[in-house]
Amino acid sequence: MNPLSHVAFIMDGNGRWGKKKKKNRNYGHLKGVETVKKIVKASIKIKIPILTFYVFSSENWKRPKEEINYLLKLIKIYFLKEIKNIQKQGIKLNILGELDKLTPEIRNVLKKSVSVTNKNKNIIVNLAINYGSKNEILLAFKKIKKNINIKNFEKNLYTKQMPFPDILIRTGGHQRLSNFMLWQLAYTELFFLKKLWPDFTSNDLMRVIDKYKKIKRNFGKI
């Protein structure tokens, strides 16, 4: 049976889900947050140590301004409203990405949330916000002054000393990585689901995990 320490998610399909329900894309993003909360709760129950969610990519700035503003507002409101519940569940938060492009208000909310949850031990939840893997790799190399090797390089990634994902789940039907954790996913088992993110459930997560446990992982060996 394969050990499981880290599951990553590309949460695709929120906007399409909202339009499918004859509402707007923002409604889909709102429902997508509810799915995140349910998956975190289920993951604590089955003792998955680390989750990573692709929340807002560095390419998402190309979207309509109204949608960008709503997404950033949703991120801020989520942390302000949920921080007590996050603490109660013992969730340790990390932010992966470049925060400089965000407003000072949102940066402060994110930094405070990371700080107050720093000692929590039930689960680590990484939120990739203004994240792009190509730039993460470039920044990591720039930080290394000497002794350029894989170990030193990986210490300078946003994930630092964390184990890399064992499983990547992408909802929404597309089969691509979209500039997400390109280095970290080298030996990750990839699962692409047609289901849109707001429809993703803990039962779907368990089905993926069951499939993962049956895979023979060789890591280059026979």
pLDDT for 12 equals 97
Q: According to DSSP H, which parts of the chain are helical?
A: 14-20, 25-45, 65-88, 104-116, 133-143, 150-155, 202-213
Listed in sequence order, the residues at least 6 apart from 197 whose beta carbon sits closer than 8 Å to its beta carbon are 11, 12, 13, 14, 17, 32, 35, 171, 172
Of the candidates 107, 104, 108, the residue with the CA atom closest to the CA atom of residue 129: 107
CATH architecture of 6-213: 3-Layer(aba) Sandwich (3.40)
pLDDT for 156 equals 95
pLDDT for 216 equals 84
Q: Which of 14, 26, 60, 94 is an active site residue?
A: 60
pLDDT, block means (10 residues), the chain with 222 residues: 93 95 94 97 98 96 93 92 95 96 93 96 97 96 87 94 96 97 97 98 98 85 66
Tell me the C-alpha distance between 40 and 121, whole Å.
14
120 among known catalytic residues: no
pLDDT for 146 equals 81
94 among known catalytic residues: no
The domain spans of the chain are 6-213
The torsion angles phi and psi of 129, rounded to 5 degrees, stand at: -125, 130
pLDDT for 152 equals 92
pLDDT for 217 equals 80
